[in-house]
Amino acid sequence: MKYSSTRGDSVQVTAAEAIIKGLAADSGLFVPDELPRISPSFIEELVPLSYEERAVKVLRLFLTDYTDEELKTCVENAYGKGKFDCAGRAPVTDLGAMQVLELWHGPTSAFKDMALQLLPQLMSTALKKTGEQDNVLILVATSGDTGKAALEGFRDVDQISIMVFYPEGGVSRIQQLQMLTQEGKNVNVTAVRGNFDDAQSGVKVIFANQAFNEQLAEKGVKLSSANSINWGRLVPQIVYYFSAYADLRKNGRIAAGEEVNFTVPTGNFGNILAGFYAKQMGLPVHKLICASNANNVLTDFLQTGRYDRNRAFYKTITPSMDILISSNLERLLYHVTGDKEQVADWMAELNNSGSYEVDVKTRGIIKETFWADWVDDAATKKCIKQVYGQHKYVLDTHTAVAYQVAENYRHATHDEHVMVVASTASPYKFNGSVLDALQAETAGLDEFALLDKLQELNENPIPAGLAALRTKTVLHKGVCDKDKMNEAVMNFIAR
């Protein structure tokens, strides 16, 4: 299977090349030239398998230049070896009206682990397969979750090192400790004197600085990125849609071939797009429901066909969804229209004016599959309290957005298909807002006391990675000015 850009560049690359490059030369995203189709028996055969075995079966349909042996090793390194705290890796919890797909059992307690555990393995294998001699340096600017998940995924991976920049004072104490205590011989974490945008622009400037990249090349180093436009971050996510369906078959919740719905809390449109790929491949999915917070640019787009980022930006209790440019939507537009020139035009409009509008036909096709709604912070908290009251089950804030939107969908449509809600973070990761929603007394409690407090209410224990922070040593103390990030990179390379 070959990959090429969503924007018309006709260069075709293998999956390994797409994963190393990250972005196509014309700034488009790599997409497969055709989508594999599965038969009903493919799904039935997944039912008795482990998550790792299911993953190899799905991945091999897209990563056709990797051998089964290579994929098996990658998957074992990513999901095996005690890194996940439950045997199912991504289990489905039955709450009666809703099936909750828990994607946060990995080392950093957020769904980013599902992809960022596997991407480094796929990238390291790709370097070997393509005979690349240089070392790769992954640069990440983070507002919290992605940085830690990327550090944990890339630590001690052959031929690759990783450097994470975060805004000094701009992440939660737990998130900061998670990063500063990161072990591994190929990792660095540096605080930037500035906000997230400063850190992000700093990284972009480094990527675009040709002289600097030539200096790096002399030292045998190439830059790459781990953000969610990389195909190697998207393809691992397709797996858990199949796995969730196989689990529902396994416990008899659905009949063979029965269609189900998925509701997904959405930011960059990466998670839900993986669900779209699964549906296109033949997984029996009726609707994909896109759940947003007050930054409801996707709700508006899916309802009206007009994407408009020119609007107020809100800081919410679901920070991982506080996004106004959902990069992966570009891939959906390509698959729906099959027209790369058109996609390139819309993306140029977005870049120039901050908005674009798709034609009626495209809008119609998207609406056949997607439904969308959003909820505010108050409704999110109310949902956490209500679900806890009914089931003694604690939702994180992002998951609660999806749960509430799933209920809104049912109410609006009377569609009774089995509903799977994607749960994207452990409630412990956002303990302050969650305890607030549960109306617990939190005055004067520090981060660790908050974890203990939530533990009193939650049947699931505190995840090991978060509990261990109490006693871990801070290993990364670097701080730099926002215009000195390239010096920090050079110092890290020269270490």
Ligand X SMILES: *Cc1c(COP(=O)(O)O)cnc(C)c1O
Contact footprint for ligand X (CB under 6 A) = 110-112, 145, 228, 265-271, 320-321, 398, 424-425
What is the sign of the dihedral through the CA atoms of 150, 77, 3 and 244? negative
CB 59 within 8 A of CB 72: no
How near is the Cβ of 370 to ligand X at its closest, in Å?
13
Residue 90 Cα distances to 130, 271, 353, 357, angstroms: 32, 14, 40, 36
Exposed, middle or buried: residue 31 (CB in 10 Å: 0-12, 13-18, 19+)?
buried
- Per-residue b or e along 194-228, where b marks 16 or more CB atoms closer than 10 Å to that residue's CB: bebebbbebbeebeeeeebeeebeeeebebbbbbb
Active site residue 112: yes
SS3 per-residue string spanning 239-254: HHHHHHHHHHHHCCCC
For the bound state, the minimum distance from the C-beta of residue 48 to ligand X, rounded and expressed in Å, comes to: 29
Q: Which two tokens stand for residue 482?
A: 């926002």
Q: Tokens representing 337?
A: 């229209």
Are 293 and 444 in contact, with CB atoms under 8 Å apart? no
Shortest Å, Cβ 494 to ligand X: 33
The answer to whether 225 touches 200, Cβ cutoff 8 Å, is no
Of 352, 366, 362, 241, the closest CA to residue 298 belongs to: 366
- Residue type present at position 320: S
Calculate Rg over the CA atoms of the chain. Answer: 22
Which position among 112, 340, 381, 429 bears the catalytic label?
A: 112
- Rounded Cα–Cα distance for residues 420 and 278 (Å): 14
Shortest spacing between CB 310 and ligand X, in angstroms: 21
Whole-number minimum distance, CB 429 to ligand X, in Å? 7
Do residues 101 and 422 touch, judged by C-beta distance below 8 A? yes
Smallest gap from residue 424 Cβ to ligand X (A):
3
Q: What distance in Å separates the CA atoms of residue 117 and residue 107, rounded to the nearest whole number?
A: 9
In a 10 Å sphere around its CB, with 0-12 CB exposed, 13-18 middle and 19+ buried, how is residue 115 labelled? buried
Q: Which amino acid is at 70?
A: E
Residue 27 to residues 24, 95, 229, 273: CA-CA distances in angstroms?
A: 5, 43, 11, 19
Shortest Å distance, C-beta 298 to ligand X: 9
Compute the least distance from the CB of residue 159 to ligand X, in Å: 27
Helix (H) and strand (E) counts for the chain? Answer: 22, 15
What six digits make up the tokens of 208?
A: 């675009």
Shortest CB 263 distance to ligand X, Å: 12
Distances 36 to 2, 60, 237, 261 between C-alpha atoms, Å: 12, 10, 16, 21
Closer CB to ligand X, residue 112 or residue 331?
Answer: 112
Angle between helices 51-62 and 68-79 (to 10 degrees): 130
Closer Cβ to ligand X, 245 or 269, answer by number = 269
Residues annotated as catalytic are 112
